Amino acid sequence: MLFCVTSIAVPARQATPAAPAETPPMAETVFKNVLILKGIPVDEFMDTMGMFAAATAKDCTGCHSPEILDGRAEAFAIDTPMIRKARSMVVMMNAINRSYFGGRKRVTCATCHANSSAPENVPNMAIQYGDPLDNPNSMQFIVAAGSDPSQIDQVFTKYLDALGGAQRLAGVTSFAATGSYSGWDTGLSEVPVDIYARAPEQLTTIAHRTEGDSVWAYDGRNGWQVTVNSAVPFTLPLTKGNLAGAQLDAMVALAPTRIRQAFSRWQISKGLLDDDRPVQILRGTNEGQPPVNFYFDNAGLLVRLLRWNDTAVGSVATQYDYSDYRDVGGIRRPFRWVRTSTINQVTIVLKEMRPNVAIDAARFARPTTTRLIR
């Protein structure tokens, strides 16, 4: 449930992420049997797979051969009736968008499937006469003009004060943290995690799985991902929305004072979280990029962040839920957060955070591949 208070525009001072220094591999050069989704980077290709899974309420085995469960990456290329059907659906969807929406991705997999493998062609009266259900990941944002634009600055001021104040935040130039990581990629089992952050915007997360380390690194300009036991058995450079998301992760982790100037236009709204907690919602946008929503509770703390990434078949959301704020050297930090996307849902719980420690620059460099899929 959303109702908007006001919107304003301010000059953006924070540059958007630069293009990756290395040329990202295209899907058809990495994977076999790619016939339709050619010419897109591998990270966007994987997000597209996430859209298929989310829209149809399936996992990888819903379309791919059961042989992928044997741990062979090449099994993903085995043709199946569902893969052939998916190709025809993409062709149909693209034709509809070209014919009726000027090529804009107004119709996506989710439009018809709506989390069902078989779209219905009759109305559901249980929904018609039941309680309305909002999509918390919707990109819609209802704007109503007429309120004081200074409210946006007030929200950010309250946020920074709730964390400990801009002056104290500026005094923290790095931190190292340890804790646990659990997600669908670990079978929901907890594994150790190390997190390193360094000003102004560098961030590395290392999940120490039994098969090897999964690593997400951002050096302030480029981002990479290494995920063991996955369909992508190499160091994957991040592009487009994933690269912008890596920069935003680093900003929220260590440089929240930079968020205000990171977007050229801001809008403000109010709403309720899933547990009926009231929140103020700020939406930041930059020209040519998907928006980002920031949700602040009554204490002024950031409790949710929602961003989107464009794919070949429409936009997919990534949602962060922050909780368990604790004092670390005079600064309040979230010690628990849940990252939910169409690819994975991950929970990170910190045990210790050490501020202003020396961190070698190599921590944020391009990670190397370790003990990958057999």
Q: What is the CATH number of domain 2-16+149-364?
A: 2.50.20
pLDDT digits (tens, 9 = 90+) for 42-66: 999 999 999 999 999 988 888 999 9
Q: HSE of 250 in the Cβ direction (CA atoms, 13 Å)?
A: 28
- With a CB cutoff of 8 Å and minimum separation 6, the contacts of 347 are 181, 182, 183, 336, 337, 338, 339
What pLDDT, on a 0 to 100 scale, did the predictor assign at position 120? Answer: 87
Nearest to 277 by CA among 256, 252, 258, 296: 296
User: For tokens 């070209």, what's the residue?
Assistant: 98
Q: Where are the alpha helices (DSSP H) in 219-288?
A: 240-254
DSSP SS3 for 50: helix
User: For tokens 């020396």, what's the residue?
Assistant: 358
pLDDT digits (tens, 9 = 90+) for 244-295: 999 999 999 999 999 999 999 999 998 889 888 999 999 999 999 999 999 9
What pLDDT, on a 0 to 100 scale, did the predictor assign at position 328? Answer: 97
Can you tell me the mean pLDDT for 290-312?
A: 97
In this prediction the pTM is: 0.90
Question: What is the percentage of the chain residues whose pLDDT exceeds 90?
Answer: 73
Alpha-carbon span 54 to 313, nearest angstrom: 12
pLDDT digits (tens, 9 = 90+) for 5-16: 333 343 344 445
Crossing angle between the packed helical segments 42-56 and 240-254, to the nearest 10 degrees: 90
pLDDT tier at 370, thresholds 50, 70, 90: low
Can you tell me the mean pLDDT for 152-177?
A: 96
What pLDDT, on a 0 to 100 scale, did the predictor assign at position 371? Answer: 44
Residue pair 274/136 in contact (Cβ under 8 Å)? The answer is: yes
Which regions of the chain carry the CATH code 2.50.20? 2-16+149-364
Mean model confidence pLDDT for the chain: 89
